[in-house]
């Protein structure tokens, strides 16, 4: 065998060795139906045809590779943004392992969360005993400042009542009477991770604000939303607010949670919005959400407490950042400082420098509704054409908003919005109406390979590249980062198409 203790091969070259190629071919023939290559090719080509596209887009009872995750993932992410908080998922261990691994693989950091470890008996008799013991164990083992409880499918199907269960757990002495245990019902079989994020944010604010008297102040609360770039984006928000001199509380700040240093100390709890800050946030003048579709219930609750509220769509690029800063200026009376105006001018200058390579480029975009809207808007700003915009968790209202966005620019002519569709739908769409770039998450990798369209990774999850989340996508500085990512992929494609010496290299340019 080619693998030995003296010469350990990485899996990429290892599986190209003759022994492994023979093993994999035998597996294909004996256990994977073993259809002839010509038939596989014939069927594969047909699945890229208009005939197959019509059948694919007509399906209703099946979802294939949705561009979304389930509610508890968003709830765990929201909870981790608060000081010393342990997310507690009332459900099976396997579900929680998925949430933790999904976040850890993206951020390359540990993702702490616990489970009530429900099994078959709990599915029959209810999970109260699991909740009582689980809360007690979590408090004893990890001593968090707060335990934030959410649910999975199992708990929701059998109808477990979190409010009642937590109250009975207090009565049994699992946690002290005055201990913070906010909760949110987050059934996995409806909505998506953005709904789970919203439900948990509302649950946490309800825990701290309900029954309290509001004393109106001048501060601003910001809800970042579910964001794979939250480490850098949250810091960019705080930097911009600091330049404006605005007192700001980020409700659910994971920037330090998912960016701990390697200095010999393990931090199970790092950073996060302080619990007393969260309580005091009731007195803020206004609460702004950076992602409208991550916060409808939370903003309704906040508005009911007397605060002004406003929602944005992932503030990326010139116009989106302008709107955010102007709203904050209007709320606080503080002007946008010259330092931010200079950053705006530099972004516009960079866009002008590179417009020849972006003008008219056709792009497919997929991801969460707010990200897709923001990305399409940025593409229109640079003269590109967001031909296909897909959000599996986008609804009719989002689709109408996208259509209105397309109508604001000549580059939006002929662009399409695909609400509720999945990535197998997108494959048919891109195969029949090709584009030059694909923007989304790592899950676009297979579309990129299959259809020969370069992928720009700009949203959660990014598993196969490292550290993208450490650089902002929001604000003028973030817009510059996004611009560079788009351009790098465009230039890489130009190079790969002209790298054959003496044949295609007449355009293998040193200077562009």
The tally of CA atoms less than 13 A away on the side-chain side of residue 508 is 11
Residue 87, H or E segment: strand 85-90
**Between vectors from CA 437 to CA 235 and to CA 414, what angle results, nearest 5°?**
105
Q: Where are the alpha helices (DSSP H) in 245-354?
A: 275-280, 296-304, 318-332, 338-353
- Do residues 210 and 183 touch, judged by C-beta distance below 8 A? no
Compute CA distances 416 → 14, 39, 445, whole Å: 43, 33, 22
Q: Which two tokens stand for residue 39?
A: 């038939």
CA dihedral angle for residue 131, residue 111, residue 156, residue 132, rounded to 10 degrees:
0
Q: Catalytic residue at 157? A: yes
3-class DSSP state of 88: strand
CA distance 72 to 91: 10
- Do residues 274 and 83 touch, judged by C-beta distance below 8 A? yes
Q: Which two tokens stand for residue 66?
A: 């949705």
CA distance 283 to 278: 10
CA distance 101 to 166: 27
Q: Where are the alpha helices (DSSP H) in 316-415?
A: 318-332, 338-353, 355-358, 369-381, 396-406
**Annotated catalytic residue, options 40, 157, 190, 484:** 157
Q: Which two tokens stand for residue 397?
A: 């209202």
Q: What share of the chain is helix, strand, coil (3-state, %, to 5)?
A: 50, 10, 40
**Annotated catalytic residue, options 153, 194, 294, 456:** 153
Report phi then psi at 476, rounded to 5: -70, -40
Q: Which two tokens stand for residue 262?
A: 């390697």
- Do residues 254 and 231 touch, judged by C-beta distance below 8 A? yes
Q: Please list, in sequence order, all residues whose beta carbon lies within 8 angstroms of the beta carbon of residue 230, skipping any fewer than 6 positions away.
A: 224, 254, 255, 258, 469
CA distance 82 to 115: 18
Nearest to 292 by CA among 315, 259, 260, 268: 315
- Do residues 204 and 182 touch, judged by C-beta distance below 8 A? yes
**Between vectors from CA 108 to CA 107 and to CA 110, what angle results, nearest 5°?**
95
The tally of CA atoms less than 13 A away on the side-chain side of residue 323 is 16
Other Cβ atoms less than 10 A from the Cβ of 319: the count is 15
Catalytically active residues, by annotation? 153, 157
């Amino acid at each position: 065998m080619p693998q030995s203790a003296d010469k350990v091969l990485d899996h990429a070259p290892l599986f190209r060795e003759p022994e492994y190629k023979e093993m994999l071919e035998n597996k294909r023939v004996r256990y994977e139906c073993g259809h002839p290559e010509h038939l596989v090719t014939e069927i594969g080509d047909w699945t890229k045809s208009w005939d197959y596209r019509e059948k694919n887009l007509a399906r209703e009872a099946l979802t294939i590779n949705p561009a979304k995750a389930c509610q508890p993932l968003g709830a765990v992410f929201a909870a981790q943004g608060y000081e010393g908080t342990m997310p507690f998922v009332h459900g099976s261990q396997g579900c929680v392992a998925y949430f933790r691994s999904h976040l850890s693989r993206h951020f390359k950091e540990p993702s702490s969360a616990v489970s009530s470890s429900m099994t078959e008996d709990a599915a029959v008799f209810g999970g109260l005993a699991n909740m009582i013991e689980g809360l007690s164990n979590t408090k004893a083992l990890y001593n968090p400042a707060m335990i934030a409880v959410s649910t999975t499918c199992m708990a929701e199907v059998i109808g477990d009542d979190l409010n009642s269960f937590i109250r009975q757990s207090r009565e049994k002495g699992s946690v002290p009477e005055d201990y913070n245990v906010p909760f949110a019902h987050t059934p996995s079989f409806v909505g998506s991770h953005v709904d789970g994020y919203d439900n948990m944010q509302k649950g946490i604010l309800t825990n701290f604000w309900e029954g309290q008297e509001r004393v109106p102040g001048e501060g601003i609360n910001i809800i970042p939303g579910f964001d794979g770039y939250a480490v850098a984006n949250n810091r960019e928000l705080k930097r911009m607010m600091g330049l404006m001199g605005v007192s700001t509380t980020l409700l659910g700040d994971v920037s330090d949670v998912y960016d701990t240093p390697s200095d010999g100390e393990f931090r199970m709890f790092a950073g996060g919005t302080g619990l007393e800050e969260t309580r005091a946030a009731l007195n803020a003048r206004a609460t702004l959400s950076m992602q409208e579709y991550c916060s409808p219930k939370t903003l309704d609750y906040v508005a009911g407490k007397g605060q002004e509220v406003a929602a944005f769509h992932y503030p990326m690029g010139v116009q989106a950042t302008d709107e955010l800063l102007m709203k904050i200026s209007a709320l606080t009376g503080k002007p946008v400082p010259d330092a931010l105006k200079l950053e705006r001018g530099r972004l516009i200058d960079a866009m002008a420098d590179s417009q020849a390579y972006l003008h008219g480029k056709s792009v497919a975009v997929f991801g969460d509704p707010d990200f897709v809207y923001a990305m399409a808007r940025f593409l229109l700003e640079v003269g590109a054409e967001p031909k296909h915009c897909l959000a599996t968790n986008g609804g009719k209202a989002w689709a109408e908003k996208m259509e209105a966005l397309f109508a604001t620019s000549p580059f939006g002519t002929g662009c399409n919005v695909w609400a509720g569709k999945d990535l197998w739908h997108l494959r048919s769409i891109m195969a029949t109406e090709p584009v030059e770039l694909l923007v989304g998450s790592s899950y676009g990798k297979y579309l990129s390979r299959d259809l020969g369209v370069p992928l720009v990774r700009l949203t959660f999850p990014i598993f196969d590249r490292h550290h993208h989340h450490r650089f902002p996508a929001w604000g003028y500085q973030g817009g510059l980062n996004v611009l560079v990512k788009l351009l790098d992929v465009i230039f890489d494609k130009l190079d790969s198409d002209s790298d054959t010496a003496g044949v295609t290299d007449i355009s293998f340019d040193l200077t562009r």
